[in-house]
Structure 1
Amino acid sequence: MDKRYAYSGNDTVGALVQTGLSAAGYTRTTDVASADVVLTYCTSQTALEDAYFDEDGIVQAARPGTLLVDLSAATPSFARELNAVAVVSELAAVEAPLVVANVALPDAFADKANLMCLVAGEEKDVAAARPLLEELAGDVQETGGSGSAQLARAAYTLQASAQIMSAIEADALYHAVQRSASSVEGPVGRAGATSPEAEQVLSAVSEGRFTGTYTVEMLMAELSAALMAADDVDLILPQAEACLHLLELLAVIGGADKAPAALALVYGEEAACAENGLDWTRAEQAYGGEADEDDDYDYDVNPDDFPGGFGAYSAN
């Protein structure tokens, strides 16, 4: 019997899904109503909500019994909402946020061993989704009931992003000292890595690898989802907020589709930024107005400037 899947979202992850589900015997269809399973990966909360809940969205279009698998980083509350709506609509919903271990690899999605899925939902639905997820990721970890995978994903994001940012700032300090001839005698080398994540990004910066399939836009989506989860429970996370501010600055000057290691360019010379296609005049235009002091998280960026739509995650 022909098995069909539909997919909505980011093209890079879409290619991963196509490779994996083709190996599992599925063929792709653009008709959600004819699909046995529908997978999504969006880098915007707005896009994710629209994909499922619009008048012509997945929930309305899918036939009863369809398995819905969301690979996006979202909030626990969204995962619980989707699960509740799916139950009422006689659908099966599974949250399976995708985790990239080494974000600095040029093709971070090429090797299953570099990918993990955290999975949550009704036990029978998770069991149905697991064979498909094992075609996509080398490690599939079940976390429990609805919302738990997104909570675990948020916790992972907060720690990984902190490692990335601190490594880049340590590297920036080393370069600044090296540029100041009177500050130190002799070469001072490179900042030492204190974690695997730090080593990955420091190596990429050292080698000038600022592009890759895992992008700043993806990291922003994950970090924004974690901040929204915190906002849902009235928790402020200053370190994560600062990280997102820096990433949004990089995106504004043209780095949304670059690898996270490109954040090192923000701390460097303007000429190096220009060589890598970054334009600081865009920051002057974007941040020319006054900030809204009433916002809890004042890191809103106009989503119309970025087709990927990550700005929608910032509207707390």
Structure 2
Amino acid sequence: MAETKRQTVIGFIGTGVMGKSMAGNLLKAGYPLLVYNRTRAKAEELAKLGAVVKDTVGELAREADVVITMVGYPRDVEEVYFGAGGIFQHARPGTYLIDMTTSTPALAEKIYKEAQARQMFALDAPVSGGDIGAREARLTIMVGGDEEVFAHLRPILERMGTNIVLQGKAGAGQHTKMCNQIAIASNMMGVCEAIAYAKKAGLDPQNVLRSIEAGAAGSWSLSNLAPRMIRGDFAPGFYVKHFIKDMGIALEAAKEMGLDTPGLALAKRLYEQLAEAGEENSGTQALFKLYDR
């Protein structure tokens, strides 16, 4: 296994809040790592740990056996893969591609088909777990693509996450991530309202949390984000602006399938109100600010 790691060169594109930790865990596992980030300074910490920083996407793609992308928006994914100087223009036949950005199912399918045409292999593999899950290599990874490609890449995915499930064909990983975001959207409203209610009732919110998180109200957001709300810690584990993007993708996909999602629509409106108030670069737990005033 050690020999395989030495021979498998991984290229990681996008070293933001989550990408930096994910790439760092691959370094810790012994993989040779190439990194690229539009803001080079954000890759320097990984360089100090042994990663090689590349100046362009094309330079990275030419040298990597596996290319992982973790960028911001579907338009960024499109540019990184299909743009001039992008992955498809420079990667070798036989290269494995893993897009871990939360993007659209349609774009995941487009990448898969283009990879097939170029004798490459592609998975869509969005993640959940936030900055903590990324740092501790405990991400949930939702995968779409071919079973044999998934099996080949699973050892790499296991260095970044623990709950790793092949959901189906190309695009299935992105559809599953939409299910995840839909569930979180309404849950976040409930968590904020519960903590705001506790404060208005003159209770100790931390003490209330001790009671309700162990029962039927329990959720990841309640246990991990409510304490941040109570402390007034609104630093991003996951950006408000990216959550708005995700909810937009989910609403559009739901509309295409003829599904009404009123809870999701309300959550998106509230988060857009939050962003308009200057909180787009805060963590999603900043929704609490709309209630706590």
Does TM, scored on the shorter chain, surpass 0.5? Answer: yes
2:27 is the counterpart of 1:27: no
Q: What's the TM-score once normalised by structure 1's chain length?
A: 0.73
**Secondary structure of the structure 1 residue equivalent to 2:245:** helix
**Which structure 2 residues correspond to residues 109-258 of structure 1 after superposition, within 5 A?**
109-113=134-138, 115-175=139-199, 177-178=200-201, 187-190=202-205, 192-193=212-213, 194-196=217-219, 197-258=221-282
- TM-score with structure 2 setting the length: 0.78
Map 1:256-295 to 2 at 5 A: 256-269=280-293
Deviation larger for 211-220 or 42-51: 211-220
**1:109 maps to amino acid:** A
Count of equivalent residues: 255
Which of the residues 77, 82, 104 maps onto 1:53? 82
- Structure number with higher relative contact order (C-alpha < 8 Å, ≥ 6 residues apart): 1
AA matched with 1:202: A
Q: Which amino acid aligns with 2:135?
A: A
Deviation (angstroms), 1:75: 2.3
Corresponding residue SS for 2:225:
helix
Q: Does the 8 Å CA contact 1:24/1:135 hold for their aligned counterparts?
A: no
Q: Which amino acid in 2 is paired with 1:151?
A: H
The more displaced of 46-55 and 164-173 is 164-173
Structure 1 residue 200 displacement after superposition? 3.1
Unaligned runs of 5+ in 1: 179-186, 270-316
Whole-Å separation in 1 of the counterparts to 2:265 and 2:116: 35
Contact 1:10 1:43 in 2 (8 A): no
1:169: Cα distance to partner? 2.4
| Contact 2:244 2:268 survives alignment (8 Å) | yes
Does 2:112 correspond to 1:83?
Answer: yes
What is the one-letter code of the residue matched to 1:229?
A
Name the SS of the counterpart of 2:249 in structure 1.
helix
* CA shift for structure 1 position 50: 1.4
Deviations 1:141-188 (Å, cap 9, x if unpaired)? 12121121211111121112211112112333444x44xxxxxxxx34
On the 8 A contact 1:79/1:95 being kept in 2, the answer is: yes
Give the helix-richer structure, 1 or 2. 2
Aligned-residue offset at 1:2: 4.3
Distance 1:215 1:111 in 2: 19
Tell me the amino acid that sits aligned with residue 182 of structure 2: L
Cα shift at 1:234: 4.5
Identity %: 24
Which consecutive residues of structure 2, in runs of 5 or more, have no partner in the other structure? 1-5, 36-53
1:74 and 1:148 map into 2 onto residues whose CA distance is 11
CA RMSD of aligned residues (A): 2.3
